Each structure stands twice: as structure tokens, then as C-alpha cells.
Amino acid sequence: MTTPSPTTRQHTVVDSPYGALTLVATGGALSGLYMTDQRHRPPEETFGDPDDRPFTETVRQLDAYFAGELTEFDLPLHLQGTVFQRDVWAGLRRIPYGETRSYGELAAELGRPGASRAVGLANGRNPVGIIVPCHRVVGASGGLTGYGGGLERKQRLLAFERRAHDGTPTLF
């Protein structure tokens, strides 16, 4: 198999306990994971050709995550965004499984304590939900705030991770 060019885009759609997930690869690396009706979901025509070959490992890791057997993803990612957005997305990946951070806490961890609103905007533009766990960010009071995939999905993802982390049975 030849290596895809750095700009070749491909996609596939997989089922999950949270609905259909559209996976997008750019140059063979995961560049998008989009839920049905997700806010900031790019137009379908930008996803590239249908081809499930680049996603074997992504699907394997997602299946293990949804089974409660994987707590940290290890996949090559191709994330396009500003330097600040990429810093926020890297910060999201450091939030441990089953835990949450507030937007303000994440801003402080990034050395930008006054940037909680900007962190929230960057969080909302995360192109690889679940794998880059933007669902783990909550409001200052600990309450649920916006989530591109919808608050009900965010609540379910957080409850799933808490149950799996605590060792209680996982129900979808």
C-alpha cells in the first residue's frame, strides 16, 4: 500500500454507543471525529473519499474505550488549528480519564489564567472529540456547559468514564 499524500483526505462512519461517528484522516492520520448533529461539523464534501483502511487502529481503540478497557488513546493525529487551539487540545489530552477540569483550571495549566473564555472557544473547535477529550471540561462550579456533541452526550460520556474508572458496571 502506498503512503497517502499529506493532503489526501479519507473518511468512514462507525457506530458507537453515542451514535454514528464520522472519522476523517488527512495524510493517513486522524484529523476528525464528528458526531451526528455536532456543532462546528465541517461540510461532508470536505471529508474526502470513503475508505475505511486508514481507521483500523482508531476503530480498535474506540471499541476498547467504549468497552471500558482503554483510558488513553495512542493515535497519530493531524490537528489543524491556531497555535493556541493546538495548545488547548494538547492540554485536553493531559486531563486524566474519569476526571474533569474547569475552563479556568485548564487556562491556568496553560499559563494563561485569564483566558478561560478563549479556552472554551478552542475547546469547542476541537476536531477530534472523545479522543481529544473536550467532554472532560466543565464550568467553574463543576456544572455541565456547552459541548459540540450536545450536553446529553457530554453527560453520558462523563458518567461512563466515572463508572469505568470506579469499577462499577457500565451501562449505555
Tell me the pLDDT tens digit for each residue of 69-84: 999 999 999 999 999 9
Residues 92 and 162 grouped into a single domain: yes
Choosing from 66, 91, 114, the residue where a domain stops is 66
Q: Quick one: cell of 84?
A: 493556541
Residues 61 and 87 grouped into a single domain: no
How is the beta sheet containing 29-35 ordered, strand by strand? 29-35, 21-26, 9-14, 49-50
- The answer to whether position 73 is within a domain reads no
5-50 tens-digit pLDDT: 667 899 999 999 999 999 999 999 999 999 988 888 899 999 999 9
Residues 97 and 161 grouped into a single domain: yes
Residues 88 and 138 grouped into a single domain: yes
Extended beta strands in 36-144, E state? 49-50, 101-102, 137-138
Q: What pLDDT is stored for residue 137 in this prediction?
A: 93
Strand partners, 25: 10, 30
pLDDT band of residue 171 (cuts 50, 70, 90) is: very low
Which residues are known catalytic residues? 134
